[in-house]
Amino acid sequence: MMKSIDITSLLSGCKSGDEEAITEFFQRFRPDVFRMALSILDDPAEADDAAQVSLLRALNKLHSYRCESKLINWVYSITLNECRARLRRRHSRERLLHSLFHAYRAHNPSENHPEEQAIRNEGNDAVWLAIRSLPDNLRLTITLRYYHELPIGEMAEILKVSERTVHNRMRTAHERLQAALDERVVEDERDIT
Amino acid sequence: MNEISHKQAYEFIHMGESQLDTAQKEGLTSHLRSCSKCQGYARVQQQLAELIKSAMYVRWGGYHPKKFNQEKIVPVARKSVRFRNAFSFARTLLLVAVLIAILVAGISFLIPGNIFQQSKTNEIPAKPNANDMPIIDIPSASPTPTQSKEDELEKLAVDTALAYFTFDYRDVNSWWSSVQDQAYWDEFIKKEVSPVLIPFMEENKVTSKASLISSEEMFYKKWTNGDKETIWRLNLSVTPPWPGEKPPFPFGQGATNIPWTNGEETVVYAAVIIYDGNTEVLLIAVDSIDEALQSLQD
């Protein structure tokens, strides 16, 4: 069992390429970084890959870390950038896939495609569907808030926006989700009362 | 902070109770107690937040990162860090080298005689302008006596018509000449070769000239005192009038006194020649040299 290293020694060791420090760095931050990547990418395998890449990138950029924010938030920023890049690539692939799918359906109307089946399954969970329909920036904001339970200040730091912007995004996301889930919420209220 | 607006209440609701400080919580609670609209909004938002959390945890909660493959990942990470460090070191080294090169070049450029300026000096020099050349006064090995112009001569008139002495004192450091002229000395002048030019700084010596009048030799005696002042004395007697060839009387700084006697009557022509070129002449008739000396001293 490896002993825990204080943050200063950890940074110093990682910068000099110390094996123990690097191992500690990965073990300490990997679970959180994975959760962050998963919440953005919504794909465990890709999140695992993104977490590893993000941690390697953070390790190589440690010399630029100025201790102005929490180390984990700084690593989150790098993870966020990595995941956003992956999302952009994925959206491009999805658009291509969507076009191919429609072209395929035009020629085979009765075929039940696995992607379509998956969408139908997700439809069962109205909340998740509503969350997924949000733009990336709004979805990321409520993910940081409700899944990672980060304070507004740290969210602003990670997203590199002002706290006011975080508030606005939170409000907009709530309004859109509320609109999407309006009927269901009303039903829940009825059930409660 | 008990009184808050609807807008602030909405913000506090979105922030969640855990994000609020005590004052904000009190303000929100107070506001919700009195505002049914915000109370309903808060309830809906709370339910919404719970739904979102629930959906997210259900969605992602079951996933965990793969087992950390230390043997595979750490060596890659170390290699990456070391490469970055080496690259950073090399970059710093290169930067320092470039800065040093710039510094050396700058200093070399500023120092006289550097390679840049040497390249300029290797060029064929332009022919200098004659006006720019310094004028160097090279003295000749032996000064050449020159004839004085008459208008530059200082003349001494002697009432006894014994003689006229003209002193041409052009440069106290170079030349002193004496010329006999006119009347009683006409024949003497012809024989004596006029003007007689004697280098001022010659070493001590006696120049003998034959006098047609008295058949006596005339002596030009040169004396140099301790201050390198030179005194010339003209005397017609066969023997030096002053024993020991010592200066007969003290001479003032920067002045030359010339006594003269014809052997019968002693007349002292004291030409006090001042170094700035002005000449003051004293003519004193005395019975003896001693008297002449005394007169001059007075």
In angstroms, the separation between the Cα of residue A147 and the nearest Cα of chain B is: 6
Examine the domain organization and report whether A34 and A86 are in the same domain: yes
| Residues of A whose CB is below 8 A from B55 | 125, 127-128, 131
In sequence order, which residues have a C-beta less than 8 Å from that of residue B5 and are 6 or more positions away? none
| Residues of A whose CB is below 8 A from B51 | 127, 181, 185
Q: Which two tokens stand for residue B222?
A: 């040169």
Q: What is the mean pLDDT of residues B52-81?
A: 84
Q: How many CB pairs under 8 A join A and B?
A: 106
Q: What's the whole-number average pLDDT of chain A?
A: 81
Say if CB B220 and CB B196 are below 8 A apart.
yes
Examine the domain organization and report whether A133 and A174 are in the same domain: yes
Q: Please check whether residue A189 touches B, CB under 8 A.
A: yes
The CA distance from A38 to A45, in Å, is 9
Q: Decide if pLDDT at A93 tops 70.
A: yes
Say which range, A58-67, B54-63, B193-202, B282-291, has the weakest mean pLDDT.
B193-202
Q: Please check whether residue B67 touches A, CB under 8 A.
A: no
- Structural domain spans, chain B: 6-60, 150-297
Provide the domain count of chain A: 2
pLDDT band at B266; cut points 50, 70, 90: very low
**pTM of the prediction?**
0.51
Examine the domain organization and report whether A35 and A85 are in the same domain: yes
Sign, Cα dihedral of B238, B243, B244, B249: negative
A99-103: long-range contacts, CB 8 A cutoff, minimum separation 24? none
Examine the domain organization and report whether A58 and A133 are in the same domain: no
The packing angle between helices B6-15 and B36-60, to 10°, is 20
pLDDT tens per residue, range B110-162: 876 665 555 555 555 454 444 444 333 333 333 333 333 333 333 333 333 33
The answer to whether ipTM exceeds 0.85 is no
**DSSP string across B191-209:** HH-SSEEEETTPPS-EEEE
In sequence order, which residues have a C-beta less than 8 Å from that of residue B260 and are 6 or more positions away? B163, B165, B233, B234, B235, B236, B267, B268, B269
Q: List, as ranges, residues 55-74 from A with C-beta within 8 Å of B.
A: 55-56, 59-60, 63
| Residues of A whose CB is below 8 A from B64 | 31, 34
Distance of CA B174 to the CA centre of its chain: 33
| Residues of B whose CB is below 8 A from A125 | 55, 58
The CA distance from B82 to B77, in Å, is 9
pLDDT tens per residue, range A125-135: 778 888 888 99
Examine the domain organization and report whether A87 and A32 are in the same domain: yes
Q: What is the mean pLDDT of residues B25-35?
A: 90
Q: Which two tokens stand for residue A180?
A: 């999407």
Examine the domain organization and report whether A79 and A150 are in the same domain: no
Nearest CA in chain A to B13: A171
Examine the domain organization and report whether A105 and A35 are in the same domain: yes
Q: Which two tokens stand for residue B23?
A: 């004052």
> Residue with structure tokens 């080496």?
B86
Which of A109, A140, A168 is the last residue in one of the domains? A109
Report whether the peptide linkage leading into residue B195 is cis, meaning its omega lies within 30 degrees of zero. yes
Domain hosting A68: range is 12-109
In sequence order, which residues have a C-beta less than 8 Å from that of residue B293 and are 6 or more positions away? B248, B249, B259
Examine the domain organization and report whether A139 and A177 are in the same domain: yes
CATH, residue A88: 1.10.1740.10
Examine the domain organization and report whether A27 and A102 are in the same domain: yes
B85/A17 Cβ within 8 A: yes
Q: Is residue A3 part of a domain?
A: no
| Residues of B whose CB is below 8 A from A39 | 56, 60
pLDDT band at A79; cut points 50, 70, 90: very high
